[in-house]
A and B are shown apart, each in its own frame.
Chain A
Amino acid sequence: DGGITQSPKYLFRKEGQNVTLSCEQNLNHDAMYWYRQDPGQGLRLIYYSQIVNDFQKGDIAEGYSVSREKKESFPLTVTSAQKNPTAFYLCASSPDYNEQFFGPGTRLTVL
């Protein structure tokens, strides 16, 4: 089945550690996105990528990094520089910069 997968579903991190969230899609979409959602809030854009080997910062990129070495993969690293990383992280992809298809999300908790 075509779709977007994110792993892990739940992630716990100690302060000062870097962690990487996985996002994979087999929809052959060019564009991919990472969003952060805090409780009771809407989604905010962290990074996005329109093609392989290219990505741009979104509204809240500080403390995060990404790579896009393959069309189907867009991993997000939450670095120790991110002061308040506990949140729900959603990955999305789009074939035409219109409708975005979302993955199931990863809940990150800093202990």
Chain B
Amino acid sequence: AQKITQTQPGMFVQEKEAVTLDCTYDTSDQSYGLFWYKQPSSGEMIFLIYQGSYDEQNATEGRYSLNFQKARKSANLVISASQLGDSAMYFCAMREGWDNQGGKLIFGQGTELSVKP
């Protein structure tokens, strides 16, 4: 069974508008972490934001925020004021358990975001 689901293969957004990228996850662990990474066409993976399962507040990092709804098992990424440089693939990932499991990440299939001028 897929543990990380990103249902939007591709998204378009107008420059300066906000956009939400969807991510749902499946785990029976109480302790887990959720991550978002950006992958530009060059291929490197850039860390954007992290949410721990016990964090009560939604994580924010500059223009990025994570809309964490634990009961729904969703961890959507919100990008405010989109910029042309935001055009890239975006991956949601989950770490199950804690350090006794090595910190392995499970990735979703990704969403390709295109920002229109």
Contact = CB atoms under 8 A, between A and B. Distances in A.
B99 A97 contact: yes
> For chain A, what secondary structure do more than half of its interface residues adopt (helix, strand, loop), or is it mixed?
strand
B17 to A, nearest CB: 26
A101 B46 CA distance: 8
Contacts of A53: none
A100 B103 contact: yes
Interface residues of B, number: 25
Interface string A82-97: 0000001010101011
Contacts of B4: 42
B103 A94 contact: yes
Interface stretch (A18-26, A44-52, A65-73): A44-52
B110 A98 contact: no
B102 A48 contact: yes
Contacts of A48: 102-104
A101 to B, nearest CB: 7
B110 A42 contact: yes
A77 interface: no
A99 B33 CA distance: 9
Contacts of B35: 99
Contacts of B50: 98-99
Given A43-B91, A88-B43, A104-B44, A98 B103 contact: yes
Contact of A102 (B44, B99, B106, B109): B44
A88 B89 CA distance: 15
B81 interface: no
Contacts of B43: 88, 90, 104-105, 107
Contacts of B45: 43, 90, 92, 102
Interface of A: 31, 33, 35, 40-45, 48, 50, 56, 58, 88, 90, 92, 94, 96-105, 107
